[in-house]
Chain A
């Protein structure tokens, strides 16, 4: 028997902060003391709070240690694991708490969260099927096995579950279509090709709770009459793939996959297919082509995959987070519980990846209908460095930005659509006044332009033309009328592209023009980038009155473009300046200003 369980976050966020080194140090310390056998160490799923990683949670004591360093391990072992005393120094501290917070329930980041799909992540050992079962796992599946398949579809439909991968189509309805499609061979496909830059919730679910995905797929398979499933996962997620393989092996061993499952005469075989790096494969018909071993290009619909999908057979494709919701809904009384959370049209919770210029970055799961203000200020703890919130980009390259005026917008599928963004996969990138909206639009479009598969003309050629215009604007060659051309191109691309990639890729451009038109106009008419991002459109200048001559910027400048003696105001030699921004990062007096090119008058402002 173990005295305590220690859950060490082993997800990418914490790994980048060095959680593997912390684990190593912990193991060494325990071995040194000869007490390693008393403690169970699990390099497990993600508690979501990447900002304060590496994280270790100690059970059954319920203690949340964060921002750990390898050198902290000796104290943690000595004081807590041996002595039974909490190491207060390593608890969560921040401007939002008066006393160090001990566990999830007192850390403000978690206060407004509701764990549905992340219920097991960071709590169980993802490689142990027993721990999953102990938390109620596979009960929903056994219940579904005993039900009539159309009744399963109906129950999911009634719960109001909508696809979490983007468009928000009713999951139950999708299942019903496939259930009704004629044919004896059908497939379930899990879309784990999470490609939106800025979103990593699917990865976290796969790594932290792989059995929930298998169970969701099994329930779906039962409901639609499929006997085979494919999980299409990005090759960039090796840990997720490994954990899925372990989960499949265990489920086979326990008779939850294979032939005549639990004596119900139901068969199910599970396959994993690794993607090969193409964003468009997140689109369902392209994904199917890729599983079939072809170039991952979409095809026109209809026929929809529910009629003719993988290898021409009726197929249901669901995203990871959608499937993780299914066991919750299908357990006894689950649907009634599920609909209690959320808004009229959007039930349940949504996982968001909160990143950008917000204090608490990480993954959060919140009820649908929460406002942007609550996410940024309550969950996210506000903007870094006390700067002003400017906008948040929702839904990645297919979505749009939401400006500060709409900060009290409740987030659900319909309200986001109205605002010109989309729920998408749930990336939320927070921006402050240092973000240039023209550059942001250009960034997203250059991504979608590169990832356009080239099959249909509007997307292939249209995105190129739009990108050319945006490049011109950010290099200082914008012309009057550019915005109108962008607008008209965007309309044509949206209307006439073959798949979701083309139909949504103009959104970031349209929404930034809609909410930040003045910024575009400033770029075009005054050749000025106020945010100091578009390099041709601003100059750095030192405010002589504020400069104390500390030489920090002189030392930071890689181009030797700053001159000035100690304790004398410095000056930037414009001919040498590459506008790399190293100086502004180092300046503590806040005396480096962003000014328009060629306007000497602004120096005195």
Chain B
């Protein structure tokens, strides 16, 4: 769903603010719930579009600057649209010593993007994560919810080809 919304937004430059209203409705008057509220908004849009955050600010009566402070503090919140497939390269210790930097390098070469970037066709976003807890199978990447373990650089292309 999020990709359709993003695509629509790209065309019109507008996002559905009434949707934001219903997402934050349960949290109005409970400022300690601002993080769950932003998580809901991001779940829906795939990232935190500025107009949506402005709407959260109005509805929850929290200054926009504070929301921005929170959103930029936590790694989970993204301020830019992301690809259909999120590649998370595990940078945990076990993965690091088993060669995750080489895995990341190969992905960067194939997709011609750097970590943190999205391909122009919005197919892939490349990210790094601290540890996904599959250290026994290092090095590991996740593509959306699928873990891929015991990787070597030469396996990468085939794996990426499966995600169109």
Instruction: Point out the residues of chain A lying under 8 angstroms from B138, CB to CB.
Output: 355-356
Chain A residues positioned under 8 Å from B44 (CB to CB): none
A582 touches B154 (CB 8 A): yes
In the complex, the answer to whether B136 meets A274 with C-beta atoms within 8 Å is no
The closest CB in chain A to the CB of B145 belongs to A238
Measured between beta carbons, the chain A residues less than 8 angstroms from B39 are 235, 274, 276
Q: B15 on the interface (CB 8 Å rule)?
A: no
Chain A residues lying within 8 Å of B94, measured Cβ to Cβ, are 197-198, 355-356, 361, 429
A290 interface contact, C-beta 8 A: yes
Q: Give chain B nearest CB distance to A287 CB in angstroms.
A: 12
A190 contacts B by Cβ under 8 Å: no
Kindly list chain A residues whose C-beta atoms are within 8 Å of the C-beta of B33. Answer: 293
Which residues of chain B are near A276, meaning CB under 8 Å?
Answer: 35, 38-39, 74-77
Smallest CB-CB separation from B34: which chain A residue?
A293
Residue of B nearest to A207 (CB): B133
A236 to B88 Cα, complex, angstroms: 11
Interface residues in A, total, Cβ within 8 A: 60
Instruction: Select from chain B the residue with minimum beta-carbon distance to A279.
Output: B130
Q: Is the CB of B153 within 8 A of A443?
A: no
Residue contact A17 to B149, C-beta cutoff 8 Å: yes
Which residue of chain B lies nearest to A580 when distances are taken between CB atoms in the complex? B102
**Cβ contact of B73, chosen from A16, A296, A361, A556, cutoff 8 A:** A296
B148 within 8 A of A: yes
| A295 at interface, CB cutoff 8 A | yes
How far apart are B41's CB and chain A's nearest CB, in angstroms?
12
Interface assignment of A536: CB less than 8 Å from any CB of chain B: no
Q: Interface readout for A273-294 with B: 1 if CB under 8 Å, 0 if not?
A: 1111111000000000011111
Most buried by A among B31, B33, B136, B153: B136
Contact assessment for A12 and B147 in the assembled complex, using a CB-CB cutoff below 8 Å = yes
**Could you tell me the distance between the alpha carbons of A168 and B134 in the complex, rounded to whole angstroms?**
25
Q: Are B131 and A200 in contact (CB under 8 A)?
A: yes
Q: How far apart sit A212 and B137, CA to CA, in the bound complex (Å)?
A: 27
Question: Are B149 and A197 in contact (CB-based, < 8 A)?
Answer: no
Tell me if B132 is interfacial: C-beta within 8 Å of chain A. yes
Check if B154 sits within 8 Å of A197, measured CB to CB: no
- A50 an interface residue at 8 Å Cβ cutoff? yes
- 22 cross-chain CB contacts under 8 A: A12-B147, A13-B133, A13-B134, A13-B136, A53-B136, A197-B96, A274-B39, A277-B75, A278-B73, A293-B31, A293-B34, A293-B70, A294-B70, A295-B69, A297-B73, A354-B136, A355-B135, A356-B94, A361-B94, A361-B136, A427-B93, A581-B99
